[in-house]
Amino acid sequence: MTSKYLSVFKISFQQEFAYRLNFVMWRVRNVMQFFLVFFLWDTVFSDPNRVVFGYDRNKILTYVFGILLLRALVLSARAVDVAGEISRGDLTNYLLKPINYFRYWFTRDVSSKALNLGFAIIEASVLFLLLRPPFFIQTNFPILFGFLLSVILAILLFFSILFLVNMIAFWAPSMGWSAQFLVIVIVVEFLSGAIFPIDILPNAIQGILSYLPFPYLLYFPLQIYLGKLTGAAIVKSILIAGAWSAVLLFSVNSVWKAGLKHYAAEGR
C-alpha cells in the first residue's frame, strides 16, 4: 500500500528532473519574489529605527526569510496540473487504475515540497550570508509542536483549495486556468501573508481574515514560530485551521463525486 505511493514519489521526483529548466525558473521566480518583498520593505525601513505597523527592519527581514522557507513547504504543489488532466481527458489513465487519485496527487505534492524545500534552504543560506538578517531559532517545545501542527494543516488547506479550484474543469473545461490564476495567484498570495504580514492591516479586516482559510497558509504558522502568538491564540488558530481543513476536504470529496458523474473522458 505505502509502496505504491513511495513509487509515485520517486517517479514524480524524476519527472521534476526531466523538467530541470522549468524547475530552475520556478525557483528563480521565488527568489525574485523574495527580493521584491525584501526591497519593498527595505525602502520602507531605510531608517533602521523606524517602526511601521509594529515592525522594524529586523523583524520584517525575519518575516520575509521565514516566508521564503514556508512557501516552499506549503505552496509548492503539483496538483495545479489537475485541471488540465480533467479537461484533456488524461484523468482517464488514473480512473482505470487501482490507485487513489487524491493520494496520488498528495504524494506528488509532497515530492515537490521536498525538492523545493531543499532548494529554498540553499537559497536562504546564500541570501542569509548576503543580507545577514537577524536569525530567530524557536526553542520552546510546545510552540514548535504548535508550529508543526499548523504547517501540516496549512499543507492540507492548500491541497484542498487547489483541488477545489482545479475541479472547476469538470464543468467548465476552459476555465481551469483562469480560476487557478484568480484564486491561487491573486487571492492566496495576498491573503496568506506571502507579500505582507496580515497584522499591518486594519483590525477590522484582520478580524474578517482570521475567519477565512487563507492566512492559515503562511501567516499564522509563521507567527506561531516567531512566538508572536500566545497559548490561547495558538490553540484558536489551530482550531480554525483544522475546522477549515475538515470542511474543505469534505467538499473536495463531494465535488469530486459529482464531477466524476459529469466527466466524459473526452479527448478520446
Partner 1 sequence: MADKNRDSEKAIIVEGLVKNFEVVEKKQGIIGAFSSLISPNKKIVKAIKGINFSIDRGELIGFIGPNGAGKTTTLKILSGLIYPTSGFTQVAGFNPWDRKPEFLKEISLVMGQKNQLWWDLPAIETFELNRVIYELSKSAYKKSLNELVSLLEVGKLLNTQVRRLSLGQRMRLELVAALLHRPKVLFFDEPTIGLDLVAQQRMREFIAEYNRRYKATIILTSHNMGDLVDLAKRVIVIDKGRLLFDGEFSELVDNFAKEKIIKVFFSKGIDIKSLETIGKVKKLDFPNVVLSVARTTAAVAAAELLQNFPVGDLTIEEEPIEEIIRKVFRSGKVIKGRKNTK
Contact 119, 72 (CB under 8 A): yes
The least CB distance from residue 177 to ligand ATP, in Å, is 20
The least CB distance from residue 173 to ligand ATP, in Å, is 10
Does 174 bind ligand ATP (CB under 6 A)? Our answer is: no
The least CB distance from residue 155 to partner 1, in Å, is 24
The least CB distance from residue 256 to ligand ATP, in Å, is 19
Does 236 bind partner 1 (CB under 8 A)? Our answer is: no
Q: Rounded to whole angstroms, how far apart are CA atoms 182 and 83?
A: 14
Does 266 bind ligand ATP (CB under 6 A)? Our answer is: yes
Partner that binds at residue 38, options ligand ATP, partner 1, none, CB closer than 5 to 8 Å by kind: none
Does 264 bind ligand ATP (CB under 6 A)? Our answer is: yes
Pick the binder of partner 1 from 122, 186, 205, 265 (CB under 8 A).
265
Contact 188, 75 (CB under 8 A): yes
Instruction: Write each residue from 209 to 248 as x if it is in contact with ligand ATP (CB under 6 A), else as -, in one continuous string.
Output: ----------------------------------------
| CA proximity to 213, closest of 104, 120, 79, 74 | 74
User: Residue 105 or residue 225: which is nearer to partner 1 going by CB?
Assistant: 105
Does 177 bind partner 1 (CB under 8 A)? Our answer is: no
Contact 115, 9 (CB under 8 A): no
Pick the binder of partner 1 from 35, 84, 92, 195 (CB under 8 A).
92
Over the Cα atoms of the chain, what is R_g? 19
Three-class DSSP category at 52: strand
Give the ranges where the chain is alpha helix by DSSP (H).
2-18, 20-44, 57-74, 82-88, 91-95, 101-131, 141-166, 176-180, 189-191, 203-209, 219-225, 231-262
**DSSP letter string over 220-239?**
HHHHHHTT-S-HHHHHHHHH
Does 98 bind partner 1 (CB under 8 A)? Our answer is: yes
Residue at shortest CB range from ligand ATP = 264
Q: Rounded to whole angstroms, how far apart are CA atoms 14 and 204?
A: 47
Residues that bind partner 1 (CB under 8 A): 3-4, 6-8, 11, 14-15, 18-19, 89, 92-93, 95-99, 260-261, 263-265, 267-268
Residues that bind ligand ATP (CB under 6 A): 264, 266
